[in-house]
């Protein structure tokens, strides 16, 4: 199985028992496919708070190639 680097753009719709209306939270980060551990961790971190409920989420994946523009992403190289 191949592991590829991808850019994930995700939008979460969340509700709170303190507000009558929902909120939208957007993230953009580098992850690995096919398992997407950072996306699953973001979902877990939002759902583990008892006063927040994830109503829905949608995401897109962009494969990283030699032509992909990474200038707006913070990358730590080891």
Q: Provide the 3-class DSSP secondary structure of residue 68.
A: coil
**pTM, whole model, 2 decimals?**
0.84
Task: Give the residue with greater pLDDT, 74 vs 1.
Answer: 74
Q: For 7-66, what is each residue's pLDDT tens digit?
A: 999 999 999 888 889 999 999 999 999 999 999 999 999 999 888 899 999 999 999 999
Distance from chain centroid for Cα 17? 23
Distance CA 68, CA 56 (A): 28
Report yes or no: 42 and 27 within 8 Å, Cβ to Cβ: yes
64: left (phi over 0), alpha (psi -120 to 50) or beta: beta
């Amino acid at each position: 199985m191949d592991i590829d680097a991808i850019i994930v753009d995700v939008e979460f719709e969340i509700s709170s028992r303190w507000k009558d209306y929902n909120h939208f939270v957007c993230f953009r980060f580098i992850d690995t496919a096919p398992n997407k551990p950072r996306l699953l961790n973001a979902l877990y971190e939002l759902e583990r708070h008892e006063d927040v409920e994830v109503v829905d989420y949608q995401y897109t994946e962009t494969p990283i190639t030699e032509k992909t523009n990474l200038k707006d992403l913070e990358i730590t190289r080891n």
